[in-house]
Structure 1
Amino acid sequence: MTVAAEALKHVWFHATSPQALRAEGGLTVFNKGEGCYLIDEDGRRYLDGLSGGAFVTNVGHGRAEIADAMAAQARELAYVSPYNFVAPATVKLAGVVADLAPGDLERVFFTSGGSEAVETAMKIAKQYHWLGGDQKRTKVISRRGSYHGSTQYAMSISGASHDFNNKIFGPLVPGCVHVPHNNCYRCEYGLSRPGCRTLCASMIEKAILHEGPETVAAIIAEPVPAAASIYPAPDDYLPMLREIADKYGVLLIIDEVIDGFGRTGSMFACQQWGVVPDIMTVAKGLTSGYVPMGAAIASKRVSARFEAASGREAGLNHVLSFGGHAVAAAAALKNIEIVQREGLVENSREMGKYLLDGLESLRRLPLVGDVRGRGLLACVELVRDKQTREPFRPQDQMSVRMTNYMRDEGVLVRTYQVVEFGPPLTAGRAEVEMIITGLERAILRFAADVGLA
């Protein structure tokens, strides 16, 4: 039995139907990773345009020093319970993360990944208000089209695939209030900047007033929503959210699970907007995927309320068995060292500009409706009609075709209504040029397929 056949028999794949996996090119077995490249079982080499498939491997594949750091830690101490035990590596990592985080974000609750980090942030926000005597503050404001994870609470506050999730997994967690997204290319109000006066942010204030400020615990937002078509927030959007949160005593949670640790050209994306959240969630780039790990990082103001409490209520009533795992902490420490030592945040900013400039040059092609991104997180939105911005129909099979055509060009990408790019932060000009030239050929090929060349 081949590895692929055995996988199809025993592995329950995430978010992919068995039919899609059994289709030609539906399942790929990768044996090795080297830097920005993945090598499949047949020896074919692909540019990893998605950093492992989910914007994860920021430092690239095959980093022996991370593996060595993990092995060294495992030989000394692999695991202790996070209740009231801790390993030195975990303590050191908490300090490093706190030093890197913006503003007064200083208390770190470690998790096994991004969904858990969001779940943790929501519990921190609720208990923060409970300890302050605001027991009615239980609701959270999020955006349609957003993605914050797949656990029940994280899924409930996510706007992406909300209809599907509500139909299949409902009832979802109550108190999750969704407002219009901030995708300027597809503004839900049909407006454009600057005349819109950032109505999408103002609607968050209106939602708080409608629900009753005394019932709202938090606002959660991604600076650049990667799972929702990669649209960076307008310049004044996040500052407006900070102002609204302060005005009504609501906590601001910034989700940096994908954006963090250099992906958008700064250590954390919110720094580009000059905004410090009350809680920030991170994962993915924290360890570059060498081991699962995430975190919710709380401000001094938030953690101080727990410090001032007494009895059982003083502790966050939340436990994750593998939170702060010593081996994961060792991997994260070495990963962050590499990011800083090799100047990967700066490289993300520089190569991100080179990538966006190259993608912008493709606007001349048929089907290219929009180009957007920050750092090494970018996308090209394809449309049937540039004037009307009409999206492609299911029968056009744009997603499958463009993904496969890019594979033919030797580049792994993810395609929904947009073609998404997020290569490792080690990518250089050769990799960026491979993406741009491959995309141009793939677009022209698809345009001919659908009679729109």
Structure 2
Amino acid sequence: MTMRAAPGVVADVDAASLLEAGSEHVWLHASPWRALASQEETRILAEGRGCVVKDVDGREYIDGLAGMWLVNVGHGRKEIGEAMAAQAATLAYGSATQTTTVPAIKLAKTLAELAPGDLSVTFFCSGGSEAVESAIKIARQHHYLKGMPKRFKIVGRRGSYHGATHGAMSVSGVRALSEPYHSPYMHGALHVSPPYCYRCDYRRTYPECGVYCVDAIEQLIEFESPETVAAVIAEPISASNGIVVPPPEYLPRLREICDRHGVLLILDEVITGFGRTGKMFASEHWNVTADIMTVAKGLSSGYAPIGAALCRPKVVEPFMHDKRLSHLLTFGGHAVSCAASLANIEILRREGLVDNAAHVGAYLLEQLKELKRHPTVGDVRGLGLLLGVELLKDRESGGKTPLARDAIKALSTLLIERGLLTRVGHIVFLAPPLCLTRAEADRIVEILDSSLTEVEHKFGYR
């Protein structure tokens, strides 16, 4: 692969040397060592503006996944960098155990104003995995301090992904990602089927099913005994499971089930928070307030590492006087990250990006539905700018066999070659920055349309 740095992108740096150094010294996440040199789809990115990123060879791409579901305000926001620099020059760090900082307090107050219901107490951390890990510890210790030490079990859902730390992996429902560890999961992690109507585990059809998948959670709680269950954790919309939007009754009934049995409800809004679905938080679509809500990603739009577990007062009340939370993180509430988040939230509000996600997202969804004329497109779904296109091997037969791997690989390569960066499996995931325009949405659909056509001809799909 021959690369040269584009003018003004990486000045005075030979791109071939960058590739060589990166292949030798950078281990890409969830990838083999030296994937940078061996995988054609890998790119060395150098700059970005809005929804568009550019690699070191000067080629431009629409960032169809907002980095990793997180660059909500778009790339190249100088005011966020300036806010970070100003804070670093003033006070970059203060311990989150015995002290706090001005931006941490300001951000916690802002989150209390933005969050649904009475979620008003923030425990800061460094990212989504830590936010979920913290939520699990808070939930378990909450019950322990209230005199219910047997409440330690956490109910998750199959197909969900909550992070890469041990507790977060344990409550996740994606076993293939953690199989290499060959070690026990956290004791007390239980799982039920998700509200995946297109591929219902119970072989039922909505609405005749009566939303049985949420009743199954109550059945599990009752089987295990409510006195042993600490919390249920769920994403309002499951991105990892293929952009699974639940039926409208699902989350309100889950809230009722948790209340009925004294179980805390943890809603994981690490991906869905900060405007991604056309509301500031996805749970607002169903008027549901979690007991603990985890956030990260869009909190700073990726400009600095930060996450948080937001709690209702009733959750934190047992942690008073000498009954402290047995948990701490070195970089929780990092001053520079908090400053970045405050500037990020200001942009979201000032530019109306949450509303833009709702309107342009609805437009993009309608355009994507036109792709169902393709024989490989089985379903198109999503909310706001969190969308998915599910690909099948043989839709006409009435089956739902996922598209073959060789066809998926060919599609992934074509999308990149034509200027669209995203994640492709049997689902094409789309979660671009919230500043997406209609013209950029049209371009995404054009690239998908032409690439699907080429793959279908190549592999004989009719």
TM, length-normalised to structure 1: 0.96
Q: For 2:205, what is the secondary structure of its paired residue?
A: coil
Structure 1 position 170 matched with structure 2 position 179: no
Specify which of 192, 195, 198 is matched with residue 185 of structure 1. 198
Aligned to 1:50: 65
Structure 1 position 27 matched with structure 2 position 38: no
Q: Quick one: distance in 2 between partners of 1:179 and 1:214?
A: 18
Letter in 2 for 1:393: A
Cα deviation, 1:57-82, whole Å, max 9, x if unaligned, reads: 00000100000000000010000110
Aligned to 2:231: 218
Q: Quick one: distance in 2 between partners of 1:196 and 1:348?
A: 31
Q: CA deviation at 1:164?
A: 4.8
Q: CA deviation at 1:211?
A: 1.1
Q: For 1:247, what is the secondary structure of its paired residue?
A: helix
Aligned to 1:103: 117
Q: Quick one: distance in 1 between partners of 2:187 and 2:28?
A: 29
Q: CA deviation at 1:169?
A: 4.2
Q: Quick one: distance in 2 between partners of 1:76 and 1:272?
A: 40
Cα deviation, 1:127-154, whole Å, max 9, x if unaligned, reads: 1000111100000001000000000100
Q: Quick one: distance in 1 between partners of 2:389 and 2:401?
A: 15
Letter in 2 for 1:48: D
Letter in 2 for 1:203: A
Greater shift, 130-139 or 3-12, is seen at: 3-12
Aligned to 1:256: 269
Aligned to 2:82: 68
> Any conservation in 2 of the 1:4–1:27 contact (CA below 8 Å)?
no
Letter in 1 for 2:141: Q
Q: CA deviation at 1:399?
A: 3.0
Specify which of 361, 378, 390 is matched with residue 401 of structure 2. 390
Q: How does 1:23-422 map to 2 (within 5 A)?
A: 23-52=38-67, 54-160=68-174, 162-307=175-320, 310-311=321-322, 314-386=323-395, 387-394=398-405, 397-422=406-431
Q: 1:294 to 1:169 in 2, by over 3 A?
A: farther
Cα deviation, 1:175-232, whole Å, max 9, x if unaligned, reads: 1001011111111111110111111111100111111111100000001111221111
Cα deviation, 1:221-249, whole Å, max 9, x if unaligned, reads: 00111122111111011111101100100
Specify which of 433, 441, 447 is matched with residue 432 of structure 1. 441
> Any conservation in 1 of the 2:226–2:261 contact (CA below 8 Å)?
yes
Aligned to 2:31: 16
Greater shift, 164-173 or 185-194, is seen at: 164-173
Q: 1:116 to 1:164 in 2, by over 3 A?
A: closer
Q: Quick one: distance in 2 between partners of 1:155 and 1:391?
A: 25
Q: Quick one: distance in 1 between partners of 2:319 and 2:289?
A: 20
Greater shift, 62-71 or 382-391, is seen at: 382-391
Structure 2 stretches of 5 or more lacking a match? 1-15
Q: CA deviation at 1:20?
A: 4.9
Q: Quick one: distance in 2 between partners of 1:431 and 1:16?
A: 30
Q: CA deviation at 1:272?
A: 0.1
> Any conservation in 2 of the 1:155–1:165 contact (CA below 8 Å)?
yes
Letter in 1 for 2:379: D
Q: For 1:373, what is the secondary structure of its paired residue?
A: strand
Q: 1:135 to 1:166 in 2, by over 3 A?
A: farther
Structure 1 position 5 matched with structure 2 position 14: no
Q: CA deviation at 1:389?
A: 1.3
Q: Quick one: distance in 1 between partners of 2:288 and 2:364?
A: 26
Q: 1:26 to 1:364 in 2, by over 3 A?
A: closer
Q: CA deviation at 1:343?
A: 0.2
Q: Quick one: distance in 2 between partners of 1:217 and 1:22?
A: 46
> Any conservation in 2 of the 1:166–1:172 contact (CA below 8 Å)?
no
Q: Quick one: distance in 1 between partners of 2:149 and 2:124?
A: 26
Cα deviation, 1:261-292, whole Å, max 9, x if unaligned, reads: 00011000000011001000000000000000
Q: For 2:178, what is the secondary structure of its paired residue?
A: helix
Q: CA deviation at 1:393?
A: 3.2
Q: CA RMSD in A?
A: 1.2
Structure 1 stretches of 5 or more lacking a match? none
> Any conservation in 2 of the 1:20–1:26 contact (CA below 8 Å)?
no
Q: Quick one: distance in 2 between partners of 1:26 and 1:405?
A: 9
> Any conservation in 2 of the 1:50–1:422 contact (CA below 8 Å)?
yes
Q: Taking every aligned residue pair, what percent have the same amino acid on both sides?
A: 48
Q: Quick one: distance in 1 between partners of 2:34 and 2:202?
A: 38
